[in-house]
Amino acid sequence: MPSRIDDLRRALPEIRASDDPADRVAYARDLWPRHHLAVRAGNVGAHRPGFIVWPETTAEVSAVVTWAARTGTPVVPFGAGSGVCAGILPTDEVVVLDLKRMGKIRGIDPAVPSVDVEAGAMGVPFEEELVRAGFTLGHFPSSILCSTVGGWLAARSAGQCSGKYGKIEDMAISLECVTGTGEVVTLHHRQHGPSLVPIVIGSEGTMAVITRATLRLHPAPTTRAYGAFSFPTTERGWDAMRRAFQAGKRPAVMRLYDPFDAMLARQGSVKGSPRSPRGEGAPSPLGFPGAGTRALRRGLQSPRFFNALVDGPLSIALGPALLVVIFEGDGTKPYEDLAETRRMFEALGAGWEGEGQARKWFQHRYSVSYRQAPVFAKGLFSDTMEVAAPWSRLDAVYHGVRKALGRSVFVMAHLSHAYPDGCCIYFSFAGSAAPDPSNPAAAWDEGCEEVYDRTWKAAMAAVLEAGGVLAHHHGVGRSKAPRLAEELGGVGMSTVRALMKAFDPHGILNPGNLVAPPSPDPYRHDASPREISP
């Protein structure tokens, strides 16, 4: 009986495709930290796809999806695989559609200004080409070195300069997409009447394959003004953020670190690189001052003690919360904005710390993307949880989620992506587990997996109970899908399912993503030793 890839090759001989075992392993997952535990246990590529295709044009994408709809083959669109929510979790029935061979800039319109770009464009080369033309997209996720334009749109991404430029949905003018039937459609952002662009953005590959976009540009900044402020408490710091945004200030960057995270930012949190400040993303627990790996691993098996110590006796020694601010633009305007903000913050009791911390953060703002592997290699795990809330619920969400996380992991937080009506809270946490005395060979992997799952379950419940939202810019994927219905309610989920059905009547586009129950189950025990078929 011919395989599906043989059928595809007969139907579409011009399209590059592979079912090579190495390719299938490479496309078996995204960067969901839970699966790092499986890799550490030796279960590499437990969710490998049937095969991978690399289209080079929208017509080829359409042809593949049309074939998939005819044969009932699930399709998973793939950018660079840097997602952290199990948005990529194929089975051997799935074809992965890698769009990185579609990475051209089709044109820049200086009059709008805007750019017409294919979905597979990688972040850094794309931005560099815009800067050479005198523009910027203003979108700088911490994954910019390993993510694509299509991935940003599919996950409703936010960049580190969202205070000035907004999130990716604020930049999208139009999208070219391929629906689940293979139809090519172009959706335009409309000021009047229904607009389908915001529906496809953030749909994580479940409604259409995004192949091309027209995005709004800005003149590349010529001036940046840097500043850092200290606040006695995290709460005083976010009150200052709220006041600034509600007063009309639009800094490119405004990031508030709680006292422990601020201490790491001031010292540098990466072992072997003491000058490197924290960017956005997972912490490096190996950089805890004076802590050896073994002692840290043992300590994280009882994290309540660490959390109580940091929140209690050590709170004064840690120092104040830290707020990093960067304005950018032309001429003297960024300096004037910073001076006005400084006067506002000092009137609220802030201390001025000069430019140094802000400049250090900016210089190393992408470094954090490469810090997780050593953490997992040492028998620990780390992850991040980004949630959002209106200012009126921020206190409840911040303290509720910290309490829920703190029962099983060490937790710290910073706030970024602020708006006049609310803010994103970014929790970073690290944990471990005691080895199973009855099965020493299993080491920490299975125990860490159990702690990890329990941690996330408690934290998501705390977010919803406090009135927050489960995702701000990382997406939902399969990791948060089981709780999405609680957030959206019955009408919300019925609407999502109806939209998915309208765009993808055969249900072939990334099935199991966003809508529970996810299939395959992302929470199966991947860290358990077992045989994996080729």
Secondary structure (H, E, C), 112-162:
CCEEEEECCCEHHHHHHHHHHCCEECCCCCCCHHHCEHHHHHHHCCCCCCH
pLDDT interval class at 466 (50, 70, 90):
very high
Task: Give me the percent of the chain exceeding a pLDDT of 70.
Answer: 90
* Tokens representing residue 398 in the block: 């911040």
What pLDDT does 285 receive? 39
Both 227 and 364 in a single domain? yes
Decide: 357 and 136 in contact? Cβ < 8 Å.
no
Q: Among 332, 347, 374, give the residue marking a domain's end.
A: 374
pLDDT interval class at 293 (50, 70, 90):
low
The reply to whether 261 falls in a domain is yes
Mean pLDDT within 1-20: 91
Instruction: Out of 149-153, 186-190, 275-279, 291-295, give the one with best mean pLDDT.
Output: 149-153
Task: Indicate yes or no: pTM above 0.85.
Answer: yes
Mean pLDDT within 509-521: 85
pLDDT interval class at 268 (50, 70, 90):
low
Range of the domain at 47: 4-100
- CATH code at 16? 3.30.43.10
Q: What are the tens digits of pLDDT across the range 24-34? A: 999 999 999 99
The reply to whether 78 falls in a domain is yes
Average pLDDT, the chain: 90
Mean pLDDT within 358-378: 82
Instruction: Out of 304-313, 359-368, 468-477, give the one with best mean pLDDT.
Output: 468-477
Q: What are phi and psi of 385, to 5 degrees?
A: -135, 115
97 bridge partner residues: 53, 77
- Compute the Cα dihedral for 232, 238, 243, 249 and give only its sign: positive
The reply to whether 340 falls in a domain is yes
pLDDT interval class at 283 (50, 70, 90):
very low
- Total number of domains constituting the chain: 2
Decide: 362 and 226 in contact? Cβ < 8 Å.
yes
pLDDT, greater one: 517 or 440: 517
- Strands 95-98 and 172-179, bridge-based pairing: unpaired
What pLDDT does 212 receive? 98
* Tokens representing residue 119 in the block: 């979905």
Rounded Cα gap, residues 94 and 64, in angstroms? 12
Mean pLDDT within 369-379: 74
Q: Among 306, 341, 374, give the residue marking a domain's end.
A: 374
What pLDDT does 439 receive? 61
Rounded Cα gap, residues 441 and 59, in angstroms? 51
pLDDT at residue 324 greater than cutoff 70: yes
What pLDDT does 379 receive? 80
Q: Which secondary structure element, helix H or strand E, spans residue 188, and what is its range?
A: strand 184-188
Indicate the range of 195-204, 367-376, 500-509 predicted with least confidence.
367-376
Rounded Cα gap, residues 90 and 503, in angstroms? 21
pLDDT interval class at 396 (50, 70, 90):
very high
Q: What are the tens digits of pLDDT across the range 397-408? A: 999 999 999 999
> Which three-class secondary structure state does DSSP give residue 10?
helix
Distance of CA 386 to the CA centre of its chain: 8
41-44: which pairs have CB atoms within 8 A and are 24 or more residues apart? 41/442, 41/445, 41/446, 41/526, 41/527, 41/528, 41/529, 42/529, 43/526, 43/527, 43/528, 43/529, 43/530, 43/532, 44/532
Q: What are the tens digits of pLDDT across the range 83-123? A: 999 999 999 999 999 999 999 999 999 999 999 999 999 99
pLDDT interval class at 436 (50, 70, 90):
low
- Strands 184-188 and 135-136, bridge-based pairing: unpaired
The reply to whether 419 falls in a domain is no
- Strands 381-390 and 208-216, bridge-based pairing: unpaired
pLDDT interval class at 292 (50, 70, 90):
low
Rounded Cα gap, residues 216 and 172, in angstroms? 6
Q: What are the tens digits of pLDDT across the range 188-240? A: 998 888 899 999 999 999 999 999 999 999 999 999 999 999 999 999 999 99
The reply to whether 243 falls in a domain is yes
- CATH code at 323? 3.30.70.3450
Q: Among 83, 100, 117, give the residue marking a domain's end.
A: 100
Rounded Cα gap, residues 253 and 358, in angstroms? 9
* Tokens representing residue 396 in the block: 């409840």
pLDDT at residue 266 greater than cutoff 90: no
Q: Which secondary structure element, helix H or strand E, spans residue 184, and what is its range?
A: strand 184-188
Rounded Cα gap, residues 280 and 288, in angstroms? 17
Question: In terms of DSSP H, where are the helices of 348-480?
Answer: 356-363, 372-377, 391-406, 445-466
The reply to whether 367 falls in a domain is yes
The reply to whether 130 falls in a domain is no
Q: What are the tens digits of pLDDT across the range 327-350? A: 999 999 999 999 999 999 999 999
